[in-house]
Amino acid sequence: MRQAFLLFSHQLTKSQQDELENKFKVDKIIYLPPDLQSIWSNVAPELPSIKDYLKEIFCWLKEHSKPNDIVLVQGEFGAVFLTANFCVKEGLVPIYSTTKRNVTETILDDETIQMERNFVHVRFREFEKW
């Protein structure tokens, strides 16, 4: 059984779930527990280092995952970088979602610009080693 752990801040779309199940052969999709989700979604920009801040998430992954499990990693850049490296070291497969962005700009009467952005999932991509 292959599991996918979700380290990001929203729910999977149907197309994302289908891709995990069909392309990556995932049998079980696991979201972070609420306390760890709060840590992942609220990385304080004031911290000089976030290794210790993410320690609980890394411990949870070690405890619940096995080699070759998928970890969908998206969020604060430094947290993503550290987590992707952690996953590779632990034999997990870190991936991220690629999207097509559709942007509409409207100039309002007060000369401000209103932007609407829609993101459409294209595919998951594995983090590659150099």
38-78 pLDDT tens trace: 999 999 999 999 999 999 999 999 999 999 999 999 999 99
User: What DSSP assignment string belongs to 39-90?
Assistant: HHHT--TT-S--TTTTHHHHHHHHHH--TT-EEEE-SSHHHHHHHHHHHHHH
Q: Which one-letter amino acid corresponds to residue 79?
A: A
Q: Per residue in 5-36, pLDDT tens?
A: 999 988 899 999 999 999 999 999 999 999 99
Q: Which one-letter amino acid corresponds to residue 71?
A: V
- pTM higher than the cut 0.95: no
Give the three-state DSSP class for 22: helix
